[in-house]
Chains A and B, each alone.
Chain A
Amino acid sequence: MPELFILAQATSEGTNEVAQLFVQGLALGSIYALLAMGFVIIFKATQVLNFAHGAIAALGAFFVAVFATVWDVPEAWMPDSPLWVSWSLAVLLALVVAFGLGMLLERTFIRPMIGEELFAVAIVTLGVDIMVRAITNDFIGTNSRPLGDPWGTGVLDLGWVRIAHTEIVQMVVTIVLVVAVALFFRSRTGVAMRATAFDQEAARAQGIAVGRIFSLSWGIGAVLAAVAGVFLSLYPRRAAGLDTQTAFFAFAAFPAIVLGGLDSIIGAVVGGLIIGLAQAYSALLPWEFLGTGFGGVVPYLVMLIVLLVKPYGLFGTEEIRRV
């Protein structure tokens, strides 16, 4: 593979391209992993394919933009603290609101559909996506909105690789959240959620409040989506901030979800990272032959190839179909 050898040498900027793409792939993959995790949690608990995930992500980022740049909350209350403290608190506040939003959506649109065909519920979420996106776009307006994050254009230059400060934060936060989710599923409520996902009726028979579990799962899913939305809108990915197109990004995460298996959280994280790395390394493909935008198609191709071999994804459980 002569190409890789050539690329292993330093470029004129001093960075090693393979390593640089690896870091970029991880950063992108962490966003996909967050989106996929939130999605899978919702799917596992409620059996719903949530097409509205992207819209919720954008709305969550919008909340952060409003809290941090428009209302100056809680910065106005603590003017002496460093920017990153007040901004993080603004984000936490926005996440609380996102949590509430997730629960509200579940209660309003999903609860009445219990017992209906899965396809129908998925289309309901499509309707929710259209609606929420239209309202969110109206709030966002036609200009991009910066989120007011404290890291700005800071970059860590290690010579052989350059990592933006925001990318470091991204990866750290993702690891923290994955660990948090893993721990959550060991807790009492987490076990209850796993039980509900496994067999709703039996869980109910055990005294688990299934309705509350549903709401909780949507709340958690919304929070994860919102975090992903925030990372999507930071420099250098979108230097100007959040705009009306941010919500569409979630569709790029679908291959990650399917790849990992619709009902596996580990699969979601692994799938997200794989797709992120695949997309980053697609920059090495000979572009002349493939034209523009092939990188956007790569996730779907990877997904298709995996599905041909494992129709339920890498970690998904095979559906036992009964007549």
Chain B
Amino acid sequence: MKIKSKWLSIFLVLGLVLAACGGDGEGTTTTAGSGDETTTTEDMGEDTTTTEGEMMEIATDVGVDLEAGTITVGLLSDLTGPFGPLVTAIVAGHNAYWTQVNATGGINGLTVNLETVDTVYDVTNHVQFYEELKGEVVAFGHSTGSPHTVAINSDLQADGILAIPLTWYSGWTDPAINSNLLPHGTPYCIEAMNNIEYMVGLSGLESPTIAIASIPGDYGLDSAEGALLAADALGLEVVYNGVGKVIPNDETTYDEVAAGIVGSDADLVFYTATPGAFSAVYGRAIAAGFTAMWSGASPSWNPAFVAEDSAIREAIARDFVGSSYYEPWDGESAGAANVREVMTAAGAPATDYYGEGFIEASILHQVLQAAYDSGDMTQAGVLAAAKTLTSVEFDGLGPTEVYTGEPNDIVQRSQWMTRPSLESETGTMIVESNYTSDIAAAYEFTGACYVLEG
């Protein structure tokens, strides 16, 4: 028996120590200590206790503790799954925003704490964490993933809690669905229209041919639907349709779609996928000698594509056209400058994704403030305050978000266009700000581009 346990224990200790030393030291999207934001109970920042002047009568139930002076907000995030680097940076942005706000008094003296959980982009986990957190938080600062948010939507409605979706699926603008949601940003299908019109302009071709492909699911299919609409509106010939044909991690689908794109000899390619699936198909295509202009929905891009050791860096810098729903790191607006200042002070590396965190946090800030002012900070009160929002502005970091009016009038249609850059810290450079394509502006938005069945 001795032999069994000795080696086992050595291995265990070794393994755990190695694991501790390893982990995410490198990489462009890790953030430095904004410190302790991921636990619930501690106060951060300055110790501001009660408000000056009179204490208002505030109704609270869950997530707001007037005695301790804290407000707890939940973040259902994908930190180690397919969109890990993206969401990790977004969470860092959230944290930094609230640190800044808490340092200047919070919400009338109440500090905001974030409870972040890692769902690993799994629906069952998402639902389980929702159930756990709904008894601890006053609202959800973000909920990652379209099918995941759909899964908890009926529960949100039954429980009367607010959530901000961290997905740009066009269905969130539907009043029948979004009673407990605050969508923001340009939906995937409108983004596709913008990207394609921009690409056509950039290519200088009269009537370029286009290949369209995507992974399945609301993310991929919504974006692809927009691409098909754009091709139709611009009169482009779709020479290859691989919509929903790429299955992440299934090599044969990569081969098939890459072969299809190459064989179609298209001038433009619009392909929405996870970064891994995108680079796999792109790599195969250029190995076959294919050259064209490529684009896809914003989450298809990963700055690691132009990292120092990446095999495809020159090629993709030449071919790729990127987009962003909010101003990237290098932007000129006051909002972007604020992001740069705050994140650099926190010691975080330069990356484009913090902006989303700031935007979500800004929306939530306005909601919480409105709830406080109305004297009702229960979960239902916060939800009601959210529904009274008319518009939210972001100092130029993102287009003004309007919440009252017909979906066709308030849906977001403008975004930023970017190109990869081998020199810049973030891997991208902005080429166009607040860009709305003609077809997107003219598009009659009557409902979700891709309708989620069942």
Contact = CB atoms under 8 A, between A and B. Distances in A.
Q: Classify A-B as touching or not with yes or no (CB < 8 A).
A: yes
Interface of A: 11-13, 15, 24, 28, 68-70, 104, 107-109, 111-112, 131, 135, 137-139, 141-144, 146-149, 152-153, 155, 157, 162, 164, 234-241, 243-245, 248-249, 252, 279-280, 282-283, 287, 292-296, 298
B259 interface: yes
B56 interface: no
Contact of A295 (B19, B244, B249, B255): B255
A235 B11 contact: no
B263 interface: yes
Interface stretch (B143-151, B284-292, B435-443): B284-292
Interface of B: 3-4, 7-8, 10-11, 15, 18-19, 22-24, 26-29, 79-81, 84-85, 88, 216, 244-253, 255-256, 259, 262-263, 265, 275-276, 279-280, 282-284, 286-290, 302, 304-305, 307-312, 315
B307 A146 contact: yes
Nearest to B307: A146
Nearest to B11: A108
B263 A11 contact: yes
B279 A13 contact: no
A135 B19 contact: yes
Interface centre among A135, A137, A143, A296 (most CB of B within 10 A): A143
A23 B279 CA distance: 21
B286 A135 contact: no
Given A104-B11, A148-B309, A236-B284, A143 B27 contact: yes
25 contacts: A11-B263, A68-B309, A70-B26, A104-B11, A108-B7, A108-B11, A135-B22, A141-B24, A142-B81, A143-B29, A144-B302, A146-B307, A149-B311, A235-B283, A235-B287, A236-B287, A237-B280, A239-B283, A240-B276, A240-B283, A241-B309, A252-B251, A292-B216, A293-B252, A296-B247
Contacts of A280: 255
A234 B88 CA distance: 26
Given A142-B88, A236-B283, 10 more contacts: A12-B265, A112-B8, A141-B24, A153-B312, A238-B279, A239-B312, A245-B276, A279-B251, A292-B216, A295-B256
Contacts of B312: 153, 235, 239-240
Contact of B263 (A13, A109, A241, A293): A13
A139 B24 CA distance: 7
B250 A293 contact: yes
A252 B283 CA distance: 21
A294 B3 CA distance: 47
Nearest to B88: A142
A32 B216 CA distance: 28
B289 A153 contact: no
A139 B23 contact: yes
A70 B286 CA distance: 27
Contact of A237 (B27, B248, B251, B288): B251
Contact of A239 (B7, B23, B265, B282): B282
A24 B258 CA distance: 13
B288 A240 contact: no
A296 B3 contact: no
B275 A144 contact: yes
A243 B276 contact: yes
Contact of A235 (B8, B79, B216, B311): B311
Nearest to B6: A108
B252 A240 contact: no
Contacts of B248: 245
Given A131-B15, A295-B253, A240 B302 contact: yes
Nearest to B254: A237
Given A155-B287, A296-B252, A240 B27 contact: no
